[in-house]
Amino acid sequence: LDFTGVSTVDESGALMVGRLAEELHREGRVLYIGGIGREPLRMLVRMGVLGSIGRRRVTLTLAAAVMRAQAEAQAMARAADAAAALA
């Protein structure tokens, strides 16, 4: 989710981001937020949303979020390959 240029997030916006993260989690997917500024980050922390997303999945730049998502996907693929090799 690209937060570049988002200067503020209110409580309802933070809760919507939290609901999106929960919905994606139920579907076996993960939410990454990139380009987040100080004020939106504070609101996500205040509303308890950051904990449900995971601190490593919220980054200052969109590029960093994409890199972390790719790294996590590669790690999961390696783990699945290793599990399949043991089966």
33-59 confidence digits (pLDDT tens): 999 999 999 999 999 999 989 999 999
- What torsion, rounded to 10 degrees, do the Cα atoms 54, 59, 63, 64 define? -70
Number of domains within the chain: 1
Residue 5 lies in a domain: no
> What is the domain extent for residue 34?
11-86
Residue 71 lies in a domain: yes
64 pLDDT above the threshold of 90: yes
Instruction: Say what percent of the chain tops pLDDT 90.
Output: 85
With respect to residue 2, please indicate whether it lies within any of the assigned structural domains: no
Residue 6 lies in a domain: no
CA-CA distance, 10 to 42, in Å (whole number)? 10
The reply to whether 4 falls in a domain is no
DSSP code of residue 28: T
Rounded distance, CA 8 to CA 18, Å?
16
**pTM of this structure:** 0.87
End-to-end CA distance of the chain: 36
In this model, does residue 87 exceed pLDDT 80?
no
Q: Mean pLDDT over all residues of the chain?
A: 95
